[in-house]
Structure 1
Amino acid sequence: MKKSYLYIVAIAVVGIFSMRAHSAMLLGAKVGVDTWYSDSTINDIRTNDANNQFSYYVALEHFIPLIPNVKVRHSSMQSMKFNTDFNQMDFIAYYEILDNNLISFDVGLNLQSFNGRFNGQKFNEWQPNIYSEVRLGIPATSISLFGSLSFGSYDKTTTVDGEVGTMFTLGVAAADLNFKTGYRIQDYDFNYFGTNKGKFMNDGFFCGIEFNF
């Protein structure tokens, strides 16, 4: 009887680990947060009021070829000197063109949402973008290089949001823990305010942490 119980337990343990490994190949998720020390230029005037701002994101990936993966990112921008305080939401649908230990490359579409105040004026607008992201692993190390870019030009509004940096990966139970550092720039030319200028640039260094399940 004792041997029978041992066989049952062994089969159950193997089955659980097999199911977890299989689900890991079929479904995946990334959750991350970045803190960003940035300074703004509004209508060609540097604000010189740099402060810490935050960005949060979650991405869901699956095995179905024709249906895109999804990523949602929230970023907040603020300049008290120019009465500017708005949120940016990125709703990204993308495909994995390559995905291995040395290189990963994603491409898709990003629908940006802006909501808040710019130079004292309230606005709530949407902007379509092309999205891409690449990661290059350095062989025999846990370090990789990454970069992402969203670019859109529609109805006389142009937006560019890009970042480059390095990432260190630490393998933990059931997930990879990624430590990130890099540089991000937003260069926007809003056409939402009539005759008023709507130029906005925000740039600075950031660091962050990401869980890759």
Structure 2
Amino acid sequence: MKKKAFAATFAVLFTTNVPADTIGLYLGGQIWQSEASGLLAEQNTIGDFTLKKGQQNSYFIAVEHPIAILPNVRISSATLDTTSGTTHLTQEYNADNETAHVDVHADIDIDTNFNVSYVDYTLYYELFDNGSFSFDLGLTARDFGGAVIVTEDANIVTTSRDRIWDGEDHDDHDYHNVTETTETVTTDKIKTNEVEPMLYVASNISLPLSGLSLFIQGDFSLKDDQTHSDYQVGLSYELVDNRMMDFYLTLGYRAEKMEFEKLNDLYTDLEFKGTFVGVTVHF
């Protein structure tokens, strides 16, 4: 299904587009207050972590031009940086043999630092723009970087009850208890460095109030073995409108969902969502 969507996108891009009147340069950035939730793991061991809220930053630059056959270009970068609260696990087991009975109690604290960034390289066409409504369609190559760091602090208490034999009757014996405590700290780093193809869509609708508009933007994965969506919806208010530049304030909601079966041995089912505030400058 995604392959058909990919082919259809190319067909639309090269058959229908409305060029911009002049060359335009767009610069912008966002501060995104995101709340993270979900699962992540290395290989097939999935862990459920209570992830903390985090402040994410994103930036973009875009160039639009009047040459109909050539796509417009947009480059953006973003970070997804969050840590988990300490996840506490307890494990207990015992063993018994002819000479001793052994009890093992393990307290394990796991901390996770999800620090993944990416750069989007987007080629898109402005398929429709009548001044009040615009619609863009294109393709994005999302280049991942960063890593997930998992730190495990284990405190293991081993109690051995050694049998002390009394006389010749092995049924008569006492016990001698020996307790040993061991603490180990291990750190595992899972790097991410993969390029993911995505479908890019964007639209802007002017509202009756002067200088105010509604915008929608999203990227959606085209790979069959991954579910990855990144979309935002918000309001834009034009503070400055003159011959030199236009200056906009933006406010909205953004959500990114990442379900990866294997991204460089990283398995995830994560969602980042929350409100953002940003600015856009048009020259």
Query: Which TM-score band applies after superposition, normalised by the shorter structure?
Result: 0.7 to 0.9
**Distance of 1:29 and 1:105 partners within structure 2:** 18
- Equivalent position of 1:209 in the other structure: 279
1:132 to 193, 201, 216: 201
Listed as ranges, the gaps of 5+ residues in structure 2 are: 1-19, 41-47, 85-111, 150-188
- Equivalent position of 1:62 in the other structure: 65
Q: Higher strand share goes to which structure?
A: 2
Listed as ranges, the gaps of 5+ residues in structure 1 are: 1-23
3-state secondary structure, aligned to 1:43 = strand
TM-score of the superposed pair, with normalisation by structure 1: 0.82
The letter for the 2-side match of 1:117 is: A
3-state secondary structure, aligned to 1:83 = strand
Contact 1:102/1:139 (8 A) holds in 2:
no
The letter for the 1-side match of 2:24 is: G
1:143 to 185, 205, 212: 212
**Distance of 2:59 and 2:132 partners within structure 1:** 26
Cα-to-partner distance string for 1:5-58 (whole Å, 9 max, x where unaligned) = xxxxxxxxxxxxxxxxxxx94210110010010011231746341121100000
1:33 to 29, 32, 54: 29
1:200 aligns with 2:270: yes
- Equivalent position of 1:17 in the other structure: none
TM-score of the superposed pair, with normalisation by structure 2: 0.63
- Equivalent position of 1:116 in the other structure: 146
- Equivalent position of 1:104 in the other structure: 134
Contact 1:36/1:52 (8 A) holds in 2:
yes
Q: CA deviation at 1:69?
A: 0.1
The letter for the 2-side match of 1:179 is: L
What does 1:73-84 correspond to in 2, within 5 Å? Answer: 73-81=76-84, 82-84=112-114
Deviation >3 Å, runs of 4+ = 44-48, 193-196
**Distance of 1:206 and 1:182 partners within structure 2:** 5
How many residues are matched? 190
- Equivalent position of 1:6 in the other structure: none
Q: CA RMSD in A?
A: 2.0
The letter for the 1-side match of 2:148 is: F
Q: 1:195 to 1:140 in 2, by over 3 A?
A: closer
Q: CA deviation at 1:86?
A: 1.0
